[in-house]
Chains A and B, each alone.
Chain A
């Protein structure tokens, strides 16, 4: 093999292992990966929303939420504002690194993480004080199911942001798009988490 390569006069390195995978020229693998993952999670949330609207519209109990349960709409509204703000801070972080501003990147990531953690803390506090559990009627089950599913996604997002923040402080990211994919991908995921909460809040607390 080597003698044949030398005989052909090729100076390139030999490729070992299976052939290179095909990849799109229009989207990089990492972005495509997170996009497909998000689509699958949207399907999962869709199943929970289907259950919620089935209980509310088809089963149609006399009152919703069932008496005597009440939802803390105002507190959840403040929480919504906190989470929406965190989308702005992660966007700021990415705009900063696109201009080569590493300080802005670190500040944006830390702020996003803190806002996300605050959201989760308030959510847990709401669970403690809300006055019903997941075992209280189908309403309790679907409320905790839907909001808990979202909370789990926030937790995963915080883990991703932790990795990105640690790497940012170690100076791993640069101005070029392929040099800050480690922030761009968690950023896309975090925006998905935010959009999903807006839909959950509107459907569960407002309507």
Chain B
């Protein structure tokens, strides 16, 4: 991922949608459920970031 304003703006949209989903889940259910959904999204994001980092390392010819 090239570090540019375009790439960062993409993440603004993603985080905004995630925050909206957390707000919707919280308002429709309970704060605990909302917090669990938030945790699930954070873990999904961390997993995605880890996979991106591994792909990047493999593309650069680094050790797996």
* Interface residues, chain A, with chain B CB atoms under 8 Å away: 27, 31-32, 35, 84, 87, 90-91, 94, 177, 184, 187-188, 191-192, 194-195, 198-199, 201-202, 206-207
The A contact surface, by secondary structure, is helix
Q: Are B16 and A84 neighbours in the complex by a CB distance under 8 Å?
A: yes
- Please give the number of chain B residues whose Cβ is less than 8 angstroms from any Cβ of chain A in the complex: 19
Instruction: Determine the chain A residues whose CB is within 8 A of the CB of B35 once the complex forms.
Output: 207
User: Cα distance A14–B1 when bound, in Å?
Assistant: 38
The B contact surface, by secondary structure, is helix
A202 touching B11 in the complex, CB below 8 Å, given contacts A27-B3, A184-B5: no
| CB of B17 to closest CB in A, whole Å | 10
A201 touches which one: B9, B11, B19 (CB < 8 A)?
A: B19
A-B contact pairs, 25 of them (CB 8 A): A31-B4, A35-B3, A87-B9, A87-B12, A94-B5, A188-B3, A188-B5, A188-B8, A191-B5, A191-B8, A191-B11, A195-B11, A195-B12, A198-B15, A198-B19, A199-B15, A201-B19, A202-B19, A202-B23, A206-B22, A206-B23, A207-B22, A207-B31, A207-B35, A207-B38
* Interface residues, chain B, with chain A CB atoms under 8 Å away: 3-6, 8-9, 11-12, 15-16, 19, 22-23, 26-27, 31, 34-35, 38
| CB of A154 to closest CB in B, whole Å | 15
| CB of A65 to closest CB in B, whole Å | 12
Instruction: Determine the chain A residues whose CB is within 8 A of the CB of B8 once the complex forms.
Output: 187-188, 191-192
B12 touches which one: A31, A35, A191, A202 (CB < 8 A)?
A: A191
